[in-house]
Amino acid sequence: MDKSVLEIARSALLSLIKDYESQHRCKVSDTDMNSIIVSLSASYNDYRLKRGITENLDDPRYQAAYLFTYFPALCHGVQSGIELLDGRMRHSFGSIMLQIADRRQNSLNVCAIGGGPGTDVLGLHMYIQDFLRDDGIYQDVFLNATVVDKHAEWRSAWEAVQRHLNPIDSQQIIMNYIAHDITNQNISSQVLSSVKKADIILMFKFVSAVKGLQGFKYNLTRLLREASSNTYIFYGDNLQGGNSEIFKDIAYDAGYEYIASDEAEKLKIPDRSDYLVDLEETYDRRYQQNLSMCFIIMKKN
């Protein structure tokens, strides 16, 4: 990508706020944004997560706060996590993905469960683009992606992001959003089909966000069981809090085999620049700059 994800996040969040202001004919002040960012961060504490209390992520102001606080670090987290696992695999993940893409007219079917604004999918795209560049391969790889998430309105945040991608990156990511609450036992045919046809399932920072919710384990196991044989799943989540054990239990139960895992303490965003620094001052809040995470790849039997 020619722009850094920090630059893209900055432009996208400003677009979201502008759109909100013109739709609602009101001003979103810097103080409003400060309290929204504070309340978004607070919604990720254990007490609130256990009770399923989340902020309204369909609200563009909360989406803008997410793009500021978490989006850049998490996109880099996806990319760096896959790169890290490459070192633990016999064949790199990039070469496996290219083999699949070759059979599918250069495209990969991706399903991001709890994929939010599109972080997981953009992170995968960033990984693939760097992989191709480092190996000197010229090839288009199109991601035909579905985000399965309680908040399908994340699509507005993605549209804001997409407007600031260059046309080639933008064309290579086809994004579709389907609303699905993981506490709901009923799985729609659209959700089922996006899981069934996936070459790769992404699940980034989802387990930690929903593990306290009623029925989560049972429903997620049922959903993952629907994937076809040889589907890969890339998981990443907070190192602390027993998330990876929960994930592995679910994945084994759903018929996946272990491929590789690794951990990273204080994984840094490589391209820290000035893009969000002035907004840090304006909003009087810092954006996330490093992550402590566990990454796992598994494959459906």
Ligand X SMILES: C[S@@+](CC[C@H](N)C(=O)[O-])C[C@H]1O[C@@H](n2cnc3c(N)ncnc32)[C@H](O)[C@@H]1O
Positions touching ligand X (CB under 6 A) are: 54, 57, 70, 74, 114-116, 119-120, 149-151, 181-183, 204-206, 209-210, 213
CA 131, CA 127: separation in Å to the nearest integer? 6
Residue nearest to ligand X (CB): 116
CB of 185 to ligand X, least distance (A): 12
**Which residue lies nearer to ligand X by CB, 98 or 203?**
203
CB of 256 to ligand X, least distance (A): 19
Neighbours of 133 (CB within 10 A): 10
Write down the least CB distance from residue 30 to ligand X, Å. Answer: 24
Q: 186 burial class (0-12, 13-18, 19+ CB within 10 angstroms)?
A: exposed
Q: How far is CA 88 from CA 28, 80, 128, 159, in A?
A: 47, 13, 17, 35
Helix (H) or strand (E) holding 265: strand 256-268
Q: How far is the CB of 76 from ligand X (least distance, A)?
A: 11
User: Residue for token digits 């991706």?
Assistant: 110
Q: Which is nearer to ligand X, 125 or 150 (CB)?
A: 150
Give the strand pairing for 232-238 and 142-149.
unpaired
Q: Which is nearer to ligand X, 111 or 210 (CB)?
A: 210
Smallest gap from residue 59 Cβ to ligand X (A): 12
Residue 244 to residue 137: CA distance in whole angstroms? 34
- If DSSP codes are grouped into helix, strand and coil, which group holds residue 254? coil
In whole angstroms, the minimum distance from the beta carbon of 209 to ligand X comes to: 4
In the complex with ligand X, the residue whose CB is nearer, 98 or 201, is 201
- CB neighbours (10 Å) of residue 221? 16
Minimum distance from CB of 103 to ligand X (Å)?
A: 27
Any idea which residue has 């001052």 for tokens? 281
Q: Which is nearer to ligand X, 39 or 99 (CB)?
A: 39
Question: What sections of 241-300 are H helices per DSSP?
Answer: 243-253, 277-283
Distance CA 53, CA 47 (A): 9
Nearer to ligand X, 5 or 98 (CB): 5
Residue carrying structure tokens 């896959």: 82
Identity of the residue, 78 or 298, whose beta carbon is nearer to ligand X in the bound complex: 78
